[in-house]
Chain A
Amino acid sequence: MAPTRREFLKIAGVSAVGLVLPPLATLTGAQAGMPAAGGVSQTAPGPLPALRAKRWAMAVDAGKCPPGCRDCITACHLAHNVPDFGNAKDDVHWIGLERVDHVFPAEIHSRLPESFKRLSVPVLCNHCENPPCVRVCPTQATFQRADGIVMMDYHRCIGCRFCMAACPYGSRSMNYRDPRPFIPKINADFPTRTRGVVEKCNFCEEGLARGILPACVTICKEKALVFGDLEDPGSDVRRLLDGRFSIRRRPDLGTGPQVYYLL
């Protein structure tokens, strides 16, 4: 007898994780030379185990960013089929570069060294510990996973844009138009979005499931972006944060951003 949907859900829920499944070589992965987790060599054939964490976090060593470099933006937007509308009104982006005094208006003052004031800083979704966007979403289309990633369920979003008003970081974009014609090069391994939904950075959740670090991290030649498990004392991101002074965007708002900046 055919199983019911309920049974299927149950089966789907309990089926073992990490079962060996053939991974599809991602465009990003291929471009970045299949970056490794846990010391797997770059050319290692076969599937990589999924990367798991108690709390994913990123550290941005903004001083390492070469002037004018946009590699992380290009890699991210290519990997996730982010459209390029070429105008500020319809603009959709997951990661961007902003002037440091705009990112940290409370911290930057006129007596800082020039080299400091000229910095451009990568900004992306902070995957907050206490995300206001999740709190305000009327359909739970945006939600927080156990590992801290703030996800979007594009199937469920009704496009009310309450989350855009709630996000204190300007990390979210609305698809005001059909994005498909504006995607420079379609990556077949990741869906596009449809008109009328809000989108944002997902910490490359789809890559982590295949054992690949985020696209922006792997593409960065300067190693300015460091990603890892904040709860793991041996992780790269923890070692970096343990050794240097770091700040977060608008910590006074109590959102608990999980992107840390070393300036």
Chain B
Amino acid sequence: MLTKELAIARYVDGQILPDRLSRTKHAKYLELAEQMCQVYRAGVGSMRKSLHHEIQKILEVDPECPIRRVGAFCKLLDDWSEFDAGKPKKTAQLRQRVFRQAANLHPLVANVESILDRSEIQAKQQIAQSENMTWHELERQLFSDIIEHHRLIKFDSPSDTKDLLARYNVAQTQAALLDAKQMVVESTADWKRILRFAKLANLMHRIEPIHDGFRFTLDGPASVLRGTHRYGVQMAKFLPGLLSCSGWSMEATILPKGFAKHADTPWGSKQRWVLKLDANSGLQSDTQAGGQTDSGVEQQLIESWKLMQLLLEGARDLEGWMLIREGDLLVRGQRVFFPDFTVVSPSGFRVLLEIVGFWTPEYRRHKAEVLAAFPDTPMLLAIPQSLKAQWKNHSFSVNHRVIYYGQEVLPGEIIRAIEENS
């Protein structure tokens, strides 16, 4: 991730537009990216300082290129690299030996004026000799452990140099989010993943249903007390995950620089910028897009349902029934529950279907808590025959029904259970 010092953005009509290199407007950057990667590929053994200098020289071709963009590319390339941190201990010991020796000759003067003066050149030769090297070698080693002097060992070149530009665009958007106060995501799909990434980033959520999905408002504990960008880093961390989801749009509120000074004034509290983004913004994430079901039983149910529809097309008993994977989401405070499926009857009656898979006491307790938190929601629980004993004494809410299954959950049994109870 980039630091704020490397962030570049434009501000237009209340919107913040992070620096973005596009294929049309910045066509030459494709070639520059190739050149930059080439510098690192060929740069094994070079000092970080000189690699960065090379990058600066490459980008000088573009007179419009801001200094921060140079810094940002250096940072991203460094992130793909491995540097030799030198031998800090040995180098520090070398320095201490050299400085102690020089202390006896202090001051090393360039203008020898009296017989007592110690000439810089002679003193340095003498000290270097006692270290068994030339002064030139000694000078090179003296500060070899500082970050700018580290030497490149390895560069994990991206398979496609376009990746560098893609990474740059995401990194600038993340950098803009560092000052974010709040993030609102509206989505028609992938809710579970969105919430999982929000949880990973340690953000708090508020969820409201909207016409074809949900609105997630993400921020942190102290956000209700004041506008703070304390959680900006977490929102920046959340972004790559969000980018790997589909069907979303996002609006982040960004606090302007120095907002705290004017926060109490009427104009200060209104001063803010908005960062807008959606699933089609063209930003690419390297977070892997999952989307597989959690268990084999669920996968099997989806397949049998499809098969049944195919075989019995037009058959009376399946007509009008729908099975939607993770189609609903139940919220109570910070507790969110995604039942595995939503089953919709021909008359539009919705029943949530949760497949119980494991036998551990923790798992059972967790499931029981979830059921207790949503006693008014019609739910169908599919429990394996083998766990019948475990759940025998559980008192279910009148809205919660149970079916026991053997090898797999059969569509017909689901429909029968719902029909019996409605």
- A in complex with B: no
**Interfacial residues, chain B to chain A (CB-CB below 8 A):** none
